[in-house]
Amino acid sequence: MTTLLEPSIEITTDGKGWSPDEAQLAAAAFLARYRGRTLEAYRYDLRSFFQLTHDHHLEVLAASRAHLEWYRTAMEQRGHATATIDRRLCTVCGYYRFAHLDGRITPNPAQYVRRPKVQPSEGRAMDRSELARFLFTAEHYDHAHAALAVLLGLRVSEACGTDIEHLAFDHGHRTLRIVGKGNKPAIIPLAPRTSRTIDLAVGERVEGPILQRRDGQRLDRRTAHRWVRSIGKRAGLGHIHPHMLRAGFIMAALDAGVPLREVQLGARHADPRTTTIYDRRRPTVTPPASSSPSSPADSQWAPRRRR
């Protein structure tokens, strides 16, 4: 069976020379285009597909469109969510597309595979008053929690990966250089309040991670999720996870009338249709007078308007 099911891709040998598994080489060629968490997700999806084909004694590169339709049906029968089925089919179809382009198979069995229709997510998202309450509570927690809160307009992995050395000024604006999704570098303009919050968290340090755990190590994703849950619980918001804050910042910007194109650039969405998912135009609710939190628009990262 192909060693793609192992944590890393390896090519086996028969002792007389290389005897590569063609399906394995096709997987290596496909996955070579990706990095980081995208690579992990695609590798996991391919492992699941390869395992199923192995269990049913099917050669991966000999699969037909009917086999892929059967794979889709099998996932539905197992009770997988529609979004999960769509993502796994997307990975498998990408695998066969590049195997076809590389000349390993002909024709492409995935070309006309039916994909499930994924409805826009109706999951709970933070409105502007909840976002303001969360930021206010984080500020009164400690400097590190407050810095994490204002940086979660970024993806959580991007926020955890920020370094002090990457803070700079550009034409009078405070900026932060990050490594975004797909290992793509980006320069993020910081709102004044965000900059001040980061400075308080950094203190006298001149290098190293902006976000640190209590033991002095870089904040990791697991701890970041725990911090966010803790802040949300203290703010009386129930279960909160980091992506809810990113969504909240994007929605707040759209509600404030920031043009869609600018929000798309600030969120670093490749497709503007991704940004429009967050445009729900919810009515805002004034936070309780006793809390008096500031407007989230003052503390979020925000696209800088060109003059």
Q: Is 134 exposed, middle or buried (0-12, 13-18, 19+ CB in 10 A)?
A: buried
Owner of token pair 């008096």: 292
Q: What percent of the chain has pLDDT over 70?
A: 82
**How many CA atoms does the CB half-sphere of 168 hold within 13 Å?**
10
Angle, helices 36-55/65-77, rounded to nearest 10 degrees:
100
pLDDT at 33 over 70: yes
Helix axes 260-267, 242-255, angle to 10 degrees: 160
Q: Which regions of the chain carry the CATH code 1.10.443.10?
A: 128-299
Q: Decide: 111 and 212 in contact? Cβ < 8 Å.
A: no
List, as one string, the DSSP characters of 7-53. SS----B-SSSB---HHHHHHHHHHTT--HHHHHHHHHHHHHHHHHH
Q: Is the pTM of the predicted complex or chain greater than 0.75?
A: no
pLDDT digits (tens, 9 = 90+) for 50-62: 998 999 999 999 9
> Of 7-21, 208-222, 250-264, where does mean pLDDT reach its minimum?
7-21
Per-residue pLDDT tens digits for 97-128: 999 999 999 899 998 888 887 665 544 567 88
In CATH, the number for domain 128-299 is: 1.10.443.10
Task: Name the pLDDT band for 38 (thresholds 50, 70, 90).
Answer: confident
